[in-house]
Chain A
């Protein structure tokens, strides 16, 4: 465990070294959140309730969703993908530490910085728009558990996508594809309850909802306690499934490393 803590520490330091990178990236994403905020505001002017959501709920959702999706961001994932393509991954493989565990804790360290910065920014905005009313301790605790599990799911998906780089040279394409898929299917752009029936069922059978929609719904209170616990259980199951897929895919992909030998 000490090994992983050491990786986490280095990840955090690395995150701090890249902070300006992250902050500019985050501000760019934040414009998207601001646009969503105003679009929803004008929609709710014409219609009081959309798929069970009121403006009071939605203006919480926009900010919390942004917070849920901020960690394990694009830039660091790109680096991992590039390391595979450039062959620098062999240096990671020469360590007596499992590759995936190393990656996870390293990203978790970085996420500490990412989450901290975003929490300050988004937290202030949330409070100034919504106030502190309606924040309940038991929901906050469940939210934190769910948020952490959501990060596990996001990492599992990122890991699988990064392994695709053993087969392609396009790290940007792979990472971007992953980002677009998770943003759409996780509820980062619009709450999954807004999806039409058929699509909704598809989304519910996918792991992405655990990244944003589940923790977010728990926090803003659109999930009942029972639904919250069920959501958390589903997240845990997905982590297990992604973990197994990761093991299998790694076995297959790591044999391909030869392609980048020389």
Chain B
């Protein structure tokens, strides 16, 4: 069953065209000029229930923009998105119940109140029954080692603790689809491994569909069965993970191939 279908998805940003120096700034103040930047130039793919897909691309390739459109926060400039049969932007709140999202660079934990309060809040927002909440919390506390800091406000957590708590927060309502945008950015090796082991388990046990962007290629390889490479807003590769070695036989590891691809971009 397809849980996610994307057809010819486009996103244009308006950029400011400013000339250099004081004169340019003054001119901009009086008569601003804008240009257009196509961040995503018509991508199409579909993802089935239980797949785990890695989204790969250089910085600025359009990964985050695509994820934001899939989660219903950003309005696409063109094309269609369907998440479990619904348009995420028009049915944003309905869509929110079915997805979990982790942004490695942001946190959904409340900054100044204890982490456990955020979980309690999520329980109420998503209307999670008591027994499911207890069961999931028990599981997350054990696997993600949350106990040590549940009583602390988020501002006092280390990055590793914060991301682990964010991960639990995103999965508390057992969403069928999980989006992760660079969840392991800045984490140490041990925490990274813990996170990926956790994701593998969620994917296998609960059949959660995972779409994630990251630059940790080795971990991606072990977690994701499918790879989509974005380059300058277009899909360059979309197939099973092992197929990339057939397509680029000159590369010995995923890292080699990706470095080669990214370099080619900057030359072309």
Residues of A that sit less than 8 Å from B by CB:
2-3, 5-7, 9-10, 13-14, 17-18, 87-88, 90-91, 93-98, 255, 257-259, 261-262
Contacts and interface: CB of A to CB of B under 8 A. Distances in A.
B215 interface: no
B93 A97 contact: yes
Interface stretch (B94-102, B205-213, B244-252): B94-102
A6 B126 CA distance: 11
A108 to B, nearest CB: 15
Contacts of A95: 93, 96, 125
Interface string B110-142: 101100011011011111000000000000000
30 contacts: A2-B124, A6-B120, A9-B121, A10-B121, A14-B110, A14-B112, A17-B113, A17-B153, A18-B112, A88-B106, A90-B68, A90-B73, A91-B106, A91-B108, A93-B72, A93-B92, A94-B73, A95-B93, A95-B96, A96-B93, A96-B126, A98-B93, A255-B75, A257-B73, A257-B74, A258-B11, A258-B74, A259-B14, A261-B68, A262-B65
Given A6-B124, A14-B112, A258-B11, 10 more contacts: A2-B124, A10-B110, A14-B110, A17-B113, A87-B106, A94-B72, A94-B73, A97-B125, A258-B13, A261-B13
Contact of B125 (A6, A14, A18, A262): A6
B103 interface: yes
B82 interface: no
Given A14-B112, A17-B112, A261-B65, A96 B124 contact: no
Nearest to A6: B124
B184 interface: no
B73 A96 contact: no
Interface residues of B, number: 36
A258 B76 CA distance: 9
Nearest to B166: A91
B113 A93 contact: no
B64 interface: yes
Given A14-B113, A17-B112, A93-B73, A259 B121 contact: no
Interface in B54-68: 64-65, 68
A105 B55 CA distance: 37
Contacts of B13: 258-259, 261
A255 B92 CA distance: 13
A6 B113 CA distance: 13
A7 B65 contact: no
A3 B93 CA distance: 13
A96 B112 contact: no
B71 interface: yes
Greatest chain B CB density within 10 A among A5, A13, A258 is at A258
B124 A5 contact: yes
A91 B103 contact: yes
A255 B123 CA distance: 29
